[in-house]
């Protein structure tokens, strides 16, 4: 969006907080190396701004989901190591070579394809230890370790797996996965290993190994049941377009699902589910919905969230006026609280942010 274009929705992004969050996780996990997961447009805040800020803080390794994201990281930091989590297909070989991308290889077929089309170029092998998502089975991993020619051609530089329940420190699967990963690692004694995500870092040094891969913790959302979020990075604000009065007994919004029990002053705000502010954050007679923050006070969402508009109750805010900015989430309105009202998690709100919000960067590399 043109910085001078009129906007009713503002996303303020603190790149300094992002850098400090990475440094905190780096210090916590040292001597393991600390990478950064910047998939989904750096969790919605923008690869082109997030990656240079993280690189300036000292990060040299970045993980993305798909090759196109890897190209954008490469353009932002020419000498970084860029890993593509969603693997490799033979027809992608030219693209990976052109941008020096390193695939995380999730199947024997993809390992063979990489070895055949990009021999000698570095890659990572992913082993599934209990999530049943991507990765080689334990049996396949052992078989791979017995194929030295394939290992050499694929130029494996790291072994990784992914924790399924790290956000629940007491879950028994955490220790099970660590035990299985150690067993697999024994088949690849020369390879550095990576297991811990944001929450995994806080499970202790046994989980750190050689490289940790924080994601959502970098961006200020909750990442574990027993840990407070790090510094807030993203703040979403929307302007009040109109203030109106509704009488007791009237309804608000589509479906007339929210009845007014007393005379109410309503502010209509320039945001909606097209901006990634979930429809389920709205309220009904049976569902309280989320809250927002206006002039230092919490205000409830009234009725359904529309595509482009939200209604809030400003009866208790006598000075509320058209043009005021309402904090939908940020330092005063935790994103995870808003997400919980919608039955989801902060990850989803961050990664679903609309590009039509005017973005204002502050802190490191904000020029």
Each residue of 277-304: pLDDT tens digit?
999 999 999 999 999 999 999 999 999 9
Q: Looking at residue 224, what is its pLDDT?
A: 81
Q: Rounded distance, CA 194 to CA 142, Å?
A: 18
The helix-helix angle for 47-57 and 15-29 (nearest 10°) equals: 50
| Contact between 227 and 49 (Cβ < 8 Å) | no
Report long-range pairs for 314-320 (Cβ below 8 Å, ≥24 apart).
Answer: 314/240, 314/243, 314/265, 314/266, 314/267, 315/263, 315/264, 315/265, 319/295, 320/240, 320/243, 320/265, 320/267, 320/294, 320/295
Q: Looking at residue 364, what is its pLDDT?
A: 66
Q: Looking at residue 4, what is its pLDDT?
A: 62
Q: Looking at residue 163, what is its pLDDT?
A: 97
**What stretches of the chain show up as alpha helix (H) in DSSP?**
15-29, 39-43, 47-57, 67-76, 93-98, 108-117, 138-145, 148-154, 172-185, 198-201, 335-341, 346-351
- Ranges in the chain annotated CATH 3.20.20.10: 15-219
| Residue 39 among the catalytic residues | yes
- Which residues 6+ apart lie within 8 Å of 22 measured at CB? 34, 36, 54, 57, 58, 59, 214, 218
For 132-289, list the strands marked E by DSSP: 156-160, 193-194, 211-212, 234-246, 251-252, 258-259, 264-269
Cis omega (within 30 of 0) for bond into 31: yes
The values of phi and psi at residue 157, to 5°, are: -115, -10
Q: Rounded distance, CA 85 to CA 134, Å?
A: 9
Q: Looking at residue 353, what is its pLDDT?
A: 85
- Ranges in the chain annotated CATH 2.40.37.10: 234-362
Catalytic residue among 83, 254, 273, 347: 254
Q: Rounded distance, CA 116 to CA 129, Å?
A: 27
Please tell me the least confidently modeled range out of 5-9, 230-234, 248-252, 305-309: 5-9
For 39-43, what is the mean pLDDT? 96
Is the confidence at residue 2, as pLDDT, over 60? no
Catalytic residue among 39, 83, 237, 277: 39
- CA-CA distances (angstroms) from residue 266 to 242, 245, 248, 269, 312? 8, 6, 12, 10, 6
| Residue 254 among the catalytic residues | yes
Is the confidence at residue 248, as pLDDT, over 80? yes
Distance of CA 342 to the CA centre of its chain: 17
Q: Residue 322: left (phi > 0), alpha (psi -120 to 50), or beta?
A: beta
Given the candidates 2.40.37.10, 3.30.990.10, 3.30.910.10, 3.40.30.10, the CATH classification of the domain at 234-362 is: 2.40.37.10
3-state secondary structure 316-356: CCCCCCCCCEEEEECCCCCHHHHHHHCCCCHHHHHHCCCCC
Q: Does domain 15-219 have CATH number 3.20.20.10?
A: yes
């Amino acid at each position: 969006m043109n910085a001078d274009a009129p906007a009713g929705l503002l996303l303020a992004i603190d790149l300094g907080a992002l850098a400090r969050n990475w440094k905190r996780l780096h210090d916590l996990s040292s001597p393991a190396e600390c990478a950064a997961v910047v998939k989904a447009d750096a969790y919605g805040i923008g690869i082109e701004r997030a990656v240079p800020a993280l690189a300036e803080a000292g990060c040299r390794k970045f993980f993305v989901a798909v090759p196109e994201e890897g190209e954008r990281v490469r353009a932002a930091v020419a000498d970084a190591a860029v890993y593509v989590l969603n693997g490799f297909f033979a027809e992608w070989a030219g693209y990976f070579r052109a941008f020096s991308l390193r695939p995380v290889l999730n199947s024997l077929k993809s390992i063979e394809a990489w070895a055949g089309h990009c021999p000698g170029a570095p890659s990572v092998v992913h082993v599934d230890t209990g999530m049943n998502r991507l990765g080689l089975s334990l049996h396949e991993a052992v078989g791979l370790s017995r194929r030295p020619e394939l290992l050499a051609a694929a130029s494996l530089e790291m072994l990784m797996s992914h924790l399924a329940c790290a956000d629940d420190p007491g879950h028994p699967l955490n220790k099970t996965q660590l035990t299985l990963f150690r067993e697999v690692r024994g088949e690849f004694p020369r390879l550095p290993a990576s297991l811990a995500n944001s929450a995994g870092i806080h499970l202790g040094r046994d989980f750190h190994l050689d490289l940790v891969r924080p994601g959502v913790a970098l961006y200020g959302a909750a990442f574990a049941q027993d840990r407070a979020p790090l510094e807030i990075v993203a703040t979403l604000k929307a302007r009040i377009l109109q203030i109106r009065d509704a009488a007791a007994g009237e309804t608000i919004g589509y479906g007339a699902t929210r009845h007014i029990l007393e005379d109410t002053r309503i502010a209509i705000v320039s945001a909606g589910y097209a901006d990634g502010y979930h429809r389920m954050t709205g309220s009904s007679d049976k569902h309280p919905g989320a809250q927002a923050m206006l002039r230092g006070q919490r205000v409830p969402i009234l009725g359904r969230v529309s595509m482009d508009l939200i209604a809030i109750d400003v009866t208790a805010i006598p000075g509320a006026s058209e043009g005021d900015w309402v904090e939908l989430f940020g330092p005063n309105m935790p994103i995870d609280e808003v997400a919980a009202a919608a039955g989801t998690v902060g990850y989803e709100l961050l990664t679903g942010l609309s590009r039509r919000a005017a973005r204002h960067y502050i802190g490191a590399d904000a020029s």
